[in-house]
Amino acid sequence: MTAKTPKKVMILSPHPDDAEIAMGGTIARMIDDGWEVIVADLTNGEPTPAGSVEIRAAETARASQALGLKTRLCLGLPNRYVMNTLEYRVIVASAIRQHQPRWLFTVAQPDAHPDHIHAQELVDDARFAAKLTKTDMPFQPHYPDKIIYFYASHLRAHPNPSFLVDVTAQWDRKIAALEAYQSQFWQHDKGRGPGWIIDYITTYCRYFGSRINVKYAEPFLCREPVGLAHLDALL
Return the CATH number at 80.
Answer: 3.40.50.10320
> Averaged over 149-161, what is the pLDDT?
94
Contact 207, 16 (CB under 8 A): no
Number of domains in the chain: 1
pLDDT of residue 1: 45
Q: Is the pLDDT at 65 greater than 60, yes or no?
A: yes
Q: Is residue 228 part of a domain?
A: no
Answer yes or no: pTM beyond 0.85.
yes
- How many CA atoms lie within 13 Å of 134's alpha carbon, on the beta-carbon side? 0
Q: Is the pLDDT at 130 greater than 90, yes or no?
A: yes
Q: Is residue 231 part of a domain?
A: no
Coil, helix or strand at residue 73: strand
Residue 139 C-alpha from the chain's centroid:
23
Q: Cα–Cα distance between 127 and 56 in angstroms, integer?
A: 28
Q: For residue 159, what are the domain limits? A: 8-223
Q: Is the pLDDT at 46 greater than 60, yes or no?
A: yes
Q: Is residue 3 part of a domain?
A: no
Q: Is residue 172 part of a domain?
A: yes
What pLDDT, in 10s, does the model give residues 71-124? Answer: 999 999 999 999 999 999 999 999 999 999 999 999 999 999 999 999 999 999
Question: Among 36-40, 54-58, 188-192, where is mean pLDDT lowest?
Answer: 188-192
Q: Is residue 60 part of a domain?
A: yes
pLDDT of residue 190: 76
51's CB contacts (< 8 A; 6+ apart) are: 45, 59, 183, 184, 188
Q: Is residue 234 part of a domain?
A: no
> Averaged over 137-163, what is the pLDDT?
96
Q: Is residue 35 part of a domain?
A: yes
Contact 89, 129 (CB under 8 A): yes
State the pLDDT confidence band at 188, using cuts at 50, 70 and 90: confident
Q: Is residue 159 part of a domain?
A: yes
191's CB contacts (< 8 A; 6+ apart) are: none
- Angle between helix axes 171-179 and 196-211 (nearest 10 degrees) is 160
